[in-house]
Chain A
Amino acid sequence: MRLLAALHYLLIDLLYEWGRSLLTVGSLALIACAYLLITSLSVAFQSFGEQAPPTTNLLLISSDVLDPVDSTLTLELLDNLRRYAEQAYGPGALQAAVPIIFRHMRVEDSVVQLFAVPLDQAARLKELQLVEGRWPEGAHQAAASRWLAQQHGWQIGSRFEVYARTFTLTGILDSPGRKTLSLWMPYTAGQEMFDLRDKFQMAFLRMRSDIEPQEARSFLEQSPLLSDQYAVYLEEQLNERYTQVTRTLLALTSMINLVALLVITFGAYNAAWLTLAERSPEIALLQVLGFSQGNLRALLTMRLLLLSLFSYVAGLGLAAWSISRLKNASSWSIQGVQLALQLPLLQVLLGVALMTTFCLLGAWMSGREQRSTELAALVRYH
């Protein structure tokens, strides 16, 4: 039977049973949509962060705060800590103590991490690299992470609003590890914008290189200056925990992806099996008329492929629509890092390939059952 003739009859058949076809396409489309959304989430997690390089930095923050924004530290506390460390380890024990004003801000519909820091010190401690432009200097200048600049198509000199103030982009920077949407400005600019005198949210500390970081952490935490009000973390441990969370999320999405693919296989198999079960009189008739097992297998496979293709296109449309809605809502972020949901072409094509493969598998599995049924028995009982 020629391909076009087969397609002609399959389409007639699918339209004739439009209710059942719609139900099958609808259910498979939902599964395909779920698969694509999870894939999109997985891709977002992959671009979320990488293994950060080793560091001996410590992070000082108020204890028992869920969001760093709720933390409050003072410059006086940093001075006292510096003296306390020198008493124990000698002069220059606390090499650096960098105050950070930190906020989550909405900038042009993105949730952005805003850092107001002494930029020269922060650049050294956080290994920030200027990839374009120069460091901001004035109260209305800022540098953006590469991911943020890319997301909004910003160039050096671009202007944008933050906290009802207009800023000019002077630099684009990169930092190892997290791929955050972050904005960096001078410490004084943050103080002025948020009307802060000597208060800030966090501080990066670095002890002298001969002091072991874990020992330094214990030493500082036991200090009466911090008591239970403040906590000290090893940045490397935080990074490790962050990487672990990212890996767990990736593993989770991979597992859910696998489940979605299994459901697609089962759905395809079920659709094929139902076709065979409900249409056995018609299949028997086609065999009587001289359709070979190969012809019938090809027809069944084509029927499933058509259903799968329609389902996948519908699922893709649904997923694209959902992602656009979620993007518009702009509220998808984890730990202040926005999830950039997207459907790369490669993932879409991979989905087509997987769905096709699993449909063929479904057709093959149900076709095996059909082959084991004798034609005479089918004709006799119908």
Chain B
Amino acid sequence: MIIQARGLEKIYRRGAQQVAALRGVDLDLQAGEFAVILGPSGGGKSTLLHVLGGIDRPSAGQVRVNGFALESASESALTRFRRDHIGFIFQFYNLLPSLSALDNVLLSLLAKGWGWQAARQHGLEMLAQVGLAHRSGHRPAELSGGEQQRVAIARALSVDPALVLADEPTGDLDSATANELLELMADLNRSLGKTFIIATHNQETCRFATSLFEMRDGRLSPKGMS
């Protein structure tokens, strides 16, 4: 089991008001799954991914990812956990605008302590895997949305993570490009055996899912596969 979460709660304070983003979320996920969490905006999908990825801490409950207890980990332990076990893909790609596609991929590797030459070689291989070897020297502004998201996928997978978390990865793309991206991620899931969790409101994503969930008002529930 790569993820075991029990009774996850997350409460944000906005002034005097308290907003419950997660309300007793339970989740078990096997390694190698392509899990899709469907739900409307504001339903708690991003918060759940942040908690599973060690970006945020739950207000209550326990969560183990790849055997690592996140709720009690120190800040530096969480940093190491993210660096060594998690790959992130965001809706707006979150690439550094000043760096080339290759340099954006290298960042994760350098953070992990890779040497320059080895990181460069591996980075080029990762870009080739997402079909962008020929664009490695281009900056994000010179790439299309779909290409930028491919770079983000290459970056996420470059550190050989146990889990890839994608938050609305196709939210900023047209439907044809979105489909290409989803197919690419599904292929990588199958070929590399990596676990993916995709948070989205795009129903099209469901056809690639091996596990399907629905998230609404901070509650997660399994959804039947059609």
Q: Which residues in A have some Cβ–Cβ distance to B below 8 Å?
A: 1-2, 4-5, 9, 12-13, 16-17, 281-282, 285-293, 295, 374-376, 379-380
Say yes or no: A291-B56 contact (C-beta < 8 A), given A12-B99, A282-B96.
no
Expressed in whole angstroms, the minimum distance between the Cβ of B58 and any Cβ of chain A is 11
Is B219 an interface residue when CB atoms closer than 8 A count as contact? no
CB-based contact A376/B55 at 8 Å: yes
Is B64 an interface residue when CB atoms closer than 8 A count as contact? no
Is B3 an interface residue when CB atoms closer than 8 A count as contact? no
CB-based contact B55/A289 at 8 Å: no
CB-based contact B55/A375 at 8 Å: yes
* Closest residue on chain B to residue A12 by CB atoms: B98
Chain B residues, Cβ within 8 Å of A380: 46, 50
Chain A residues, Cβ within 8 Å of B112: 290
Residue interface bits B94-105, CB-to-A below 8 A is 1, else 0: 101111000100
User: Would you give 16 A-B contacts (Cβ < 8 Å), ordered by A?
Assistant: A4-B116, A5-B106, A5-B116, A9-B99, A9-B103, A12-B103, A13-B98, A16-B98, A286-B107, A286-B111, A293-B76, A293-B79, A375-B56, A376-B50, A376-B55, A376-B57
Q: How far does the alpha carbon of A287 sit from the alpha carbon of B159 in the complex, in Å? A: 15
CB-based contact B108/A292 at 8 Å: no
Chain B residues, Cβ within 8 Å of A374: 56
CB-based contact A1/B110 at 8 Å: yes
Chain A residues, Cβ within 8 Å of B82: 288-290
Q: How far does the alpha carbon of A2 sit from the alpha carbon of B99 in the complex, in Å? A: 17
Expressed in whole angstroms, the minimum distance between the Cβ of B5 and any Cβ of chain A is 17
Name the interface residues of B167-207: CB closer than 8 Å to any CB of A. none
CB-based contact A5/B110 at 8 Å: yes
Expressed in whole angstroms, the minimum distance between the Cβ of A373 and any Cβ of chain B is 13
Is B115 an interface residue when CB atoms closer than 8 A count as contact? yes
Is B84 an interface residue when CB atoms closer than 8 A count as contact? yes
Is B213 an interface residue when CB atoms closer than 8 A count as contact? no
Is B80 an interface residue when CB atoms closer than 8 A count as contact? yes
Expressed in whole angstroms, the minimum distance between the Cβ of A381 and any Cβ of chain B is 12
Chain B residues, Cβ within 8 Å of A286: 107, 111
CB-based contact A288/B76 at 8 Å: no
Name the interface residues of B63-118: CB closer than 8 Å to any CB of A. 75-76, 79-80, 82-84, 88, 94, 96-99, 103, 106-108, 110-113, 115-116
CB-based contact A289/B111 at 8 Å: yes
Expressed in whole angstroms, the minimum distance between the Cβ of A298 and any Cβ of chain B is 12
Chain B residues, Cβ within 8 Å of A292: 76, 79-80
CB-based contact B98/A1 at 8 Å: no
Say yes or no: A290-B79 contact (C-beta < 8 A), given A1-B111, A5-B116, A295-B111.
yes
Q: How far does the alpha carbon of A286 sit from the alpha carbon of B82 in the complex, in Å? A: 11
Q: In this complex, which of A1, A290, A292, A374 has the most chain B Cβ atoms within 10 angstroms of its Cβ?
A: A290
CB-based contact A285/B96 at 8 Å: yes
Chain A residues, Cβ within 8 Å of B57: 376
Chain A residues, Cβ within 8 Å of B83: 289-291
* Closest residue on chain B to residue A291 by CB atoms: B111
Q: In this complex, which of B46, B84, B111, B112 has the most chain A Cβ atoms within 10 angstroms of its Cβ?
A: B111
CB-based contact B111/A290 at 8 Å: yes
Q: How far does the alpha carbon of A292 sit from the alpha carbon of B78 in the complex, in Å? A: 10
Say yes or no: A376-B56 contact (C-beta < 8 A), given A289-B111, A290-B108.
yes
CB-based contact A288/B55 at 8 Å: yes
CB-based contact A281/B94 at 8 Å: yes
CB-based contact B55/A379 at 8 Å: yes
Q: How far does the alpha carbon of A281 sit from the alpha carbon of B107 in the complex, in Å? A: 15
Q: How far does the alpha carbon of A376 sit from the alpha carbon of B83 in the complex, in Å? A: 16
Expressed in whole angstroms, the minimum distance between the Cβ of B146 and any Cβ of chain A is 20
* Closest residue on chain A to residue B83 by CB atoms: A290
Name the interface residues of B105-139: CB closer than 8 Å to any CB of A. 106-108, 110-113, 115-116
CB-based contact B94/A2 at 8 Å: no
Expressed in whole angstroms, the minimum distance between the Cβ of A69 and any Cβ of chain B is 64
* Closest residue on chain B to residue A375 by CB atoms: B55
Closest 5 CB pairs of A and B: A290-B83, A16-B98, A376-B56, A290-B111, A1-B110
> Given known contacts A285-B94, A290-B79, A380-B50, what 20 new A-B pairs fall within 8 Å (CB)?
A1-B113, A2-B115, A5-B116, A9-B99, A9-B107, A12-B103, A13-B98, A286-B107, A286-B111, A288-B82, A288-B88, A289-B88, A290-B80, A290-B82, A290-B83, A290-B112, A292-B80, A293-B75, A374-B56, A380-B46
